[in-house]
């Protein structure tokens, strides 16, 4: 099974079927972040997350039990790889002028 490529992921998230499933998950979870809820907090869900990541488990892309509503903060925690990328891009963009010293 080949993993979904970056372009396909984008296409997937735009598809009508994903929009429909996503809505169903949000309704199931009362538009509430399930991770915050576990910790006794209330946060509005901003997105629907694939527990088993879409790229590695494309067959589970539309399986409700693999989907969970999360707020943005919790979602970022679930994707450290995204954060790392963001961080390294930020460092590149905001490189300080100070020369590196040993």
71 binds Zn ion (CB under 5 A): yes
Q: How far is the CB of 43 from Zn ion (least distance, A)?
A: 4
Q: Are 54 and 63 in contact (CB under 8 A)?
A: no
Which of 61, 45, 52 is CA-nearest to residue 13?
61
Comparing CA positions, the residue from 21, 13, 26, 9 lying closest to residue 68 is 26
Q: CB 1 → Zn ion: shortest distance, Å? A: 19
Fill in the DSSP letter of residue 84: H
Quick one: 26 or 49, whose CB is closer to Zn ion?
A: 49
**Using CB under 5 A, which residues numbered 74 to 93 contact Zn ion?**
74
Q: In angstroms, give the least distance from the CB of 31 to Zn ion.
A: 12
Selection from 74, 71, 46, 49 nearest residue 60 by Cα: 49
Q: Is 54 one of the binding residues for Zn ion (CB under 5 A)?
A: no
Site for Zn ion in 8-37 (CB under 5 A): 33, 35-36
Residues at the site binding Zn ion, with contacts judged by CB under 5 A: 33, 35-36, 43, 49, 71, 74
């Amino acid at each position: 099974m080949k993993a979904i490529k970056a372009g396909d992921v984008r296409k997937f998230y735009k598809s009508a079927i994903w929009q429909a499933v996503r809505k169903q998950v949000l309704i199931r979870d009362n538009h509430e972040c399930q991770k915050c809820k576990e910790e006794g907090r209330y946060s509005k869900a901003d997105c629907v997350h694939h527990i088993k990541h879409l790229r590695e488990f494309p067959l589970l892309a539309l399986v409700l039990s693999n989907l969970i509503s999360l707020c943005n903060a919790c979602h970022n925690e679930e994707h450290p790889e995204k954060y790392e990328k963001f961080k390294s891009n930020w460092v590149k963009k905001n490189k300080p002028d100070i020369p590196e010293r040993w």
